[in-house]
Chain A
Amino acid sequence: MGFREYRIGSILFGVALSTSMVVTVYMPSLDISGVSSTATALEKQLTYGSNSGFDYGDLFLHGNDKPTKVILKKNPVTGAAMDDTAAYVFPAGTSFPSGLKHDNILGADVQALSVSMGKMDQAAEVTGGVFLVSSKVTNGVETPYVEFATATRGWGIEATLAAASETILAGAGKTMFVREGCWWCHTLLPEQTHDWQSFGRPPVLGDFNGESPTTFGSDRKAPDLLHVGSRNSSKEWMMLHFFNPRLVQPHSIMPRYDYLWGPKDKAGNVIDLVKWDEEFEAYRDGDSVYPPEVPEYADDSEIRYLMDFVLNSK
């Protein structure tokens, strides 16, 4: 009895399954891992931090343990005016994305430049710091790299946050994007064969190094959002649309995200969703001329994170 008479079959089964895994897991991983990061991949890692899904630093997906992206119009140390610069602030203890922690994520040339020019190897999670995405042109080829501005330019965390003309919480926003299941309907993957006109340039091979999860989405019930911030950068439109999509797009089937406003609005007043609903229905049925006001969201509300993520997707 037993499997004795099936010995050849069992061996063949093992061989077939192993071969299949070598071809479909090992070989692609070699190929994919050999790709160098683009500037997009560096920006995404520095914006979204370590992991936008479930992780030690953020067990309940509240958007904790994420860096802050800021726009600087002046040098945080000298105060001198400069061109708009995006800097990525990692407060002390914030988890680093894979590319900052492991040598084999960014690709050989990007990694080498990030260390030699960007002093990336001096950064540590315990102390945090400020990062930039810079680039260097060698022989007509532009190579992006990660610059650890705290070491190269002396930009401290507090000074940079204080000098910021704009604070973008897109890292926490991507967590909201994952948790709220936006990606069940909105893809982040314009297709290579079309979509160029509606949704913009499809991503390329090196655009994803270090990003996790990528949330491509598979079932597009709604427009692609990879470049949505370039198509529509109106904060007011986005706010109305998130609160109740039917306010600005009567035929939309998107759910309302009014609960992401939290209990209170920016001024500290309690948000009464039931009352809002009654007023909205009166407006929809023609009993009142104006729709109810959408409350201004608080600066630390979850909707603010999500709005920042969407508007930052350029």
Chain B
Amino acid sequence: MIKYLFAKEKNIPGGTAAIFFSFSAIMWFIIGTGIGSFNAAKLAFPDWFTHSYALQFGHMRQVHVHAVIFGWIAGAFAASAMYVVPALGNTKLWSEKLGVWNCLLWNVGLALGLATLWFGMTSGREYSDFIWPIDIYIALCMVLPLFINIFMSIVTRRTQGIYTTNWFFAGSFFMLIIVFLIGNLPEFFHLTGLNEAYMTWWFAHNVLGLLITPVAAAITYYIVPKVTGNPLYSHRVGHLHFWSIVVFYSTPAAHHLMSSPLPEWLKSFASVEGVLILVPAVAYVCNILLTMQGKWAMFVENVEIKYTITGVLLAIPLNMQGGFQQTRAINWYVHGTGWIVAHAHLALLGFSTFAEAAAVYYGVQTLLRRKLYSLSLANFHFWMLLIGFSLYWVSMTIAGLIQGAGKIYEVPYMDIVIAEHPYMIVRWLGGTMVFLGNIVWLWNMYMTVKQGEKLAPGVQPQDVAYAR
């Protein structure tokens, strides 16, 4: 990497930044899921690794959350944007050098942020736990260069229109900067009280709703038509998806605080807008699944499509839960229980992780012009992720329903903890499977770089992937 940091722009091969980002994302995914698995073990077996300040659950939980969100998920977004945008614009990345620097700044900032969190320096606000100097760093040194690079690549494109994927990339990275700067106002200016509490969830809602959901969708808008060869089913439905994300998804922040004493109009408004999230959700899922017409065999045969479509299918329960669980009637039952934990993992480990894994698999192969080292290992990784995730999701959903019942009937809390114990063990097993699968993945990607079979000019990886 060092040799590219100070190289002339023309001497940096195209795709360098994307490759760096891909591998950094996979590393963070391993670190993040490893810590997640460790945390889950502590919830199942609390006397494991005690006495240590650093390895205490309360210090490690937020490190897990931020390692996966900013290291893996946002890192994989950056990786995909950096090769998808130039490909769609028939051009090069605006600046590979900026991209390489961006990757360095990204990893330095994240390592610094996680280290401070780990040692207890926190703002005490969920999802915006980072202390405010780190927040400013993230906005200005991590996301802003990414946005500039992506936006300028779109501006300097050599094609007529802008494809759906690129609307989302440009829009989402821009909105992420805004969300970071507005959402952390309470820390910058020491805003207090319910304003602070509400802005905490305004940030948390929008960092998910305006970054993770739309960009993961943007990736699938690219991968599915590209790999299957089918044109996107409908650009108009894509328009509906994009605009309804901007209009509906940015508004229901208060639905995270339905049982808090916020103004009632705000909660009702958020609840209605929350149901309207189903508009972009349904438009998106239908659009992608209809694009698959006639090519459903690839769902089984092609590894990138297998990942992508699994992600899209997981978006169906995700959005059905997301649309309705925040209405007063259902929120009453599930608020603050493991159900929500399951839902969050459905969004991040289910829907978006599967979409991004596809993008990283595909990107590394096309950029290096090398075929995947081992398809079997890729399939093994897929099943480790899917089974691990399913164990996690199902066990936490059940645990959440138990907790909900206990909450409604005001059962002594200890009885709920005892009833949840088996599910805590299953969740740990599921999370550990994901972690182990990712180590295999890193090995597979490393070997692809070293030993992957070279692709002949004009051949795409999917063309040769199934040559038996």
Binding site for B on A (CB under 8 A): 1-3, 5-6, 12-13, 16-17, 20-21, 23-25, 28-29, 31-33, 35, 41, 50-54, 59-61, 97-98, 105, 178-184, 187, 189, 191-195, 197-198, 202-205, 207-223, 245-246, 249, 251-256, 258-259, 273-274, 277
Of chain A, the residue at the smallest CB distance from B407 is: A194
| Closest chain B CB from A217 CB (angstroms) | 8
Known: A180-B58, A181-B58, A223-B413. A1 touches B253 (CB 8 A): no
In the bound complex, how far is the Cα of B56 from the Cα of A216, in angstroms?
21
Q: How far is the CA of A202 from the CA of B265 in the complex (A)?
A: 19
Name the B residues within 8 Å of A192 (CB-CB): 259-261
| Cβ contact of B202, chosen from A25, A211, A213, A254, cutoff 8 A | A25
**Residue B51 is within 8 A (CB to CB) of chain A in the complex:** yes
**Cα A106 to Cα B251 with chains together (Å):** 28
- Give the interface SS of chain A, mostly helix, strand, loop or mixed: loop
- Judge whether B375 is part of the interface by a CB distance below 8 angstroms: no
Chain A contacts for B44, CB-based, 8 A: 253
- The complex places the Cα of A214 from the Cα of B186 at a distance, in Å, of 12
Residues of A close to B251: CB separation below 8 A = 20, 23-24
Say whether B155 contacts A3, CB under 8 Å: yes
Q: Are A181 and B61 in contact (CB under 8 A)?
A: yes
Q: Determine if B52 and A215 form an interchain contact, defined as CB atoms under 8 angstroms apart.
A: no
- The segment from B27-35, B77-85, B301-309, B333-341 found at the interface with A is B333-341
How many angstroms between the C-alpha atoms of A213 and B191 in the bound complex?
9
Q: Are B46 and A220 in contact (CB under 8 A)?
A: no
B367 within 8 A of A: no
Contact indicator B190/A222 (Cβ below 8 Å): no
Listed from nearest, the 6 A-B pairs whose CB atoms lie closest are A181-B58, A53-B124, A191-B259, A178-B124, A213-B124, A212-B192
B263 and A31 form a contact (CB under 8 A): yes
Contact of B42 among A187, A204, A255 (CB under 8 A): A255
What chain A residues lie within 8 Å of B158 (beta carbons)? 1
**Residues on B with beta carbons closer than 8 Å to the beta carbon of A249:** 414
A195 to B407 CA separation, bound complex (whole angstroms)? 7
B119, B196, B253, B256: the one contacting A213 at CB < 8 Å is B196
Q: Which residue of A lies closest to B403 (CB)?
A: A220
- Contact status B196-A181, CB under 8 Å: no
A1, A222, A274: the one within 8 Å of B156 (CB): A1
B254 at the interface (CB under 8 A from A): yes
Closest to A197 in B: B410
Q: Please report the C-alpha to C-alpha distance between residue A222 and residue B418 in the assembled complex, in whole angstroms.
A: 12
Residue of A28, A207, A273 near B198 (CB, 8 A) is: A28
Binding site for A on B (CB under 8 A): 42-44, 46-47, 50-53, 56-59, 61-62, 119-126, 131-132, 155-158, 161-162, 171, 175, 178, 182, 186-187, 190-200, 202, 243, 246-247, 250-251, 253-254, 256-257, 259-263, 265-266, 269-270, 332, 335-338, 340-341, 403, 407-408, 410, 412-414, 417-418, 421, 424
What's the minimum C-beta distance from A131 to chain B, rounded to whole angstroms? 17
B260 surroundings in chain A (CB, below 8 A): 189, 192, 203, 216
**CB–CB A21/B182 < 8 A:** yes
Other contacts beyond A32-B193, A54-B131, A187-B336: 10, CB < 8 A:
A1-B155, A17-B246, A24-B250, A54-B132, A184-B61, A198-B413, A213-B123, A216-B260, A259-B53, A274-B51
A residues in contact with B121, CB < 8 Å: 54, 59-61
Known: A195-B410, A255-B56. A246 touches B261 (CB 8 A): no
Contact of B263 among A32, A53, A187, A277 (CB under 8 A): A32
Tell me whether B123 and A32 are in contact (CB under 8 A): no
Bound Cα distance from A216 to B202, whole angstroms = 14
From A54, A209, A256, name the one whose CB has the most chain B CB atoms within 10 angstroms: A54
Taking CB as reference atom, which chain A residue is nearest B47?
Answer: A246
- With contacts A191-B259, A212-B192, A221-B43 taken as known, whether A253 is within 8 angstroms of B182 at the C-beta atoms is no
| B337 close to A220 (CB less than 8 A) | yes
Contact A214 B193 (CB under 8 A): yes
Identify the closest chain B residue to A179 (Cβ). B120
B193 nearest CB neighbor, chain A only = A208
Q: Is the CB of B257 within 8 A of A17?
A: no
Cα of A61 to Cα of B417 in the assembled complex, Å: 30
Do A20 and B250 form a contact, CB below 8 Å, given A213-B124, A219-B340?
Answer: yes
| A1 partner residues in chain B, CB cutoff 8 A | 155-158
Q: In the complex, A59 Cα to B50 Cα: how many Å?
A: 26
- Per the bound structure, the CA–CA distance linking A52 and B413 in Å amounts to 28
Q: A256 CB to closest chain B CB, in angstroms? A: 5
Choose among A13, A187, A195 the residue that contacts B171 (Cβ–Cβ < 8 A).
Answer: A13
Tell me, in angstroms, the Cα distance from A208 to B193 when the chains sit together. 5
A188 to chain B, nearest CB (A): 10
Is the beta-carbon distance between B194 and A32 smaller than 8 angstroms? yes
Of B198, B265, B408, the residue contacting A194 (CB under 8 A) is: B408
List the B residue with the shortest CB-CB distance to A41: B193
Taking CB atoms, residues of chain B closer than 8 Å to A221 are: 43, 338, 417
**Minimum Cβ distance to chain A for residue B409 (Å):** 9
**Which of A29, A61, A97, A218 is in CB contact (< 8 Å) with B336?**
A218
> Shortest beta-carbon distance, B180 to chain A, in Å?
14
CB pair A213–B200 under 8 Å, yes or no, is yes
In the complex, the answer to whether A252 meets B123 with C-beta atoms within 8 Å is no
**Judging by beta carbons under 8 Å apart, are A25 and B182 in contact?**
yes
Q: Is A253's CB under 8 angstroms from B156's CB?
A: no
19 interchain pairs, CB-CB under 8 A: A23-B251, A60-B120, A61-B120, A193-B332, A194-B408, A205-B262, A208-B193, A208-B197, A209-B192, A209-B194, A212-B186, A215-B124, A216-B260, A218-B126, A218-B256, A221-B43, A222-B417, A251-B414, A255-B58
Nearest chain B residue, comparing its CB with the CB of A223: B413
Taking CB atoms, residues of chain A closer than 8 Å to B197 are 208, 213-214, 216
Contact A189 B120 (CB under 8 A): no
Task: Return chain B residues, CB-CB under 8 Å to A256.
Answer: 46-47, 50-51
Q: How far is the CB of A138 from chain B (nearest CB, A)?
A: 24
Instruction: Tell me which residues across on chain B come within 8 A of A21, comparing CB atoms.
Output: 182, 250
B122 touches A178 (CB 8 A): yes
Tell whether A194 pairs with B257 under 8 Å between CB atoms, given A61-B121, A215-B124. Answer: no
The distance in angstroms between the C-alpha atoms of A52 and B121, with both chains bound, is 11
Count chain B CB atoms within 10 A of each CB in A184, A195, A202, A215 and give the residue with the most.
A184
Query: CB-CB < 8 A to A254: which residues of B?
Result: 46
State whether A33 touches B195 (Cβ < 8 A). yes
| A135 to B139 CA separation, bound complex (whole angstroms) | 45
A295 CB to nearest B CB, Å:
14
What's the Cα separation between A183 and B59 when bound, in Å?
Answer: 11
Shortest distance in angstroms between A41's beta carbon and chain B's nearest beta carbon?
7
Most buried by B among A50, A52, A98, A274: A98
Whether B46 pairs with A245 at a CB distance below 8 angstroms is yes
Residues of B within 8 A of A61 (CB): 120-122
Taking CB atoms, residues of chain A closer than 8 Å to B171 are: 13
Given contacts A205-B261, A220-B403, contact A32 B122 (CB under 8 A): no
Inter-subunit contact B410/A194 (CB<8 Å): yes
Distance to closest chain A CB from B215 (angstroms): 16
CB <8 Å contact, A181 and B57? yes
Residue of A whose beta carbon sits closest to that of B45: A253
